[in-house]
Amino acid sequence: MSVKPTVLKLGGSVITNKEKPLTPNMPAIERLTREILRANVSPLVLVHGGGSFGHPVAEQYGIRAGYKDSSQIMGFSKTHQAMTKLNKLIVDSLINHNIPAVEVQPSSCVVTKAGRIQSMEEKPLKKMLEIGFVPILYGDAVLDSETGFAILSGDQLVSSLAIRLDAYRIIVGVDVNGLYTADPKTDPSARLIQHITLEELKNLEHKIEGSKVTDVTGGMFGKMRELTPAVEHGIQAIIVNATKPNRVYKALKGEKVVGTIIEKGETIE
């Protein structure tokens, strides 16, 4: 690749109805497909979360805790299968709009160690980007060298991919406007942080409340922590509200948009 790829993450709460098991948010998927098509950014890697597809099954069988007994085996199969179903809806939508999307299955090419990526086969992925495909990955149930299996969150994957592919930028689409000084869903005094450095983030860490929504991969707080390695690597990340039309489009185009930019930078406000 001569040009650095953009890594776009679409959160599970954006593309699914998180309250109803196995329910995609098709209008949101279709709208985001059109935003991606219009922005026409290349190379592009898309990573999506599990929302109501992956999480309820993973929780039911305690997949995140690793392999404890054989009753979980079917749970792993079902979690992974649910994720591939959600992925299929997204890839179908992209292909229908003439975007050359190709599913890349984390469980087929990643092994974790105690839940952290230990090895990742990158050759097919890099070759896809060279030719002009848009690889689509996702949070997945994966094999783990220490615990048997684990849940690899889309957020950990985004950060790792960005570093491995020497990405230009990370765009994280969630269901809030960005990072707030408090939980905007419960605290009316919460203020959107438009720009933050890693050092400022560290200072804020104790003030930020985790998302209250049940999520085996963590809420906004976990997301921020997962992005840190990529940002430390010099890759800019921006968090935008993907439930609001055109926010993802503007972020892809590099236009000014409501959201939180996270940068390594040394500046202190």
Would you state the structure tokens that stand for residue 89, as one six-digit string? 């809806």
Pairing of strands 148-152, 169-174: unpaired
Residue 249 lies near a second copy (rule: CB under 8 A): no
Question: How many Å apart are CA 216 and CA 189, to the nearest integer?
Answer: 28
DSSP track, 139-205: -EEEEETTTEEEEE-HHHHHHHHHHHTT-SEEEEEESSSSEESS-TTT-TT--EE-EEEHHHHHHHG
Among 19, 26, 60, 100, binds a second copy (CB under 8 A): 100
Min CB(43)–a second copy separation in Å: 13
Which span sits near a second copy by CB under 8 A: 28-36, 121-129, 200-208, 253-261?
121-129
Q: Residue 197 is which amino acid?
A: T
- Between 99 and 179, CB nearer to a second copy: 99
Residue 53 lies near a second copy (rule: CB under 8 A): no
Residue 78 lies near a second copy (rule: CB under 8 A): yes
Residue 26 lies near a second copy (rule: CB under 8 A): no
Q: Please give the backbone phi and psi of residue 196, each rounded to the nearest 5 degrees, phi first.
A: -150, 140
Residue 98 lies near a second copy (rule: CB under 8 A): yes
Min CB(157)–a second copy separation in Å: 13
Among 132, 185, 202, 203, binds a second copy (CB under 8 A): 132
Residue 89 lies near a second copy (rule: CB under 8 A): no
Residue 113 lies near a second copy (rule: CB under 8 A): no
Question: How many Å apart are CA 230 and CA 27, to the nearest integer?
Answer: 31
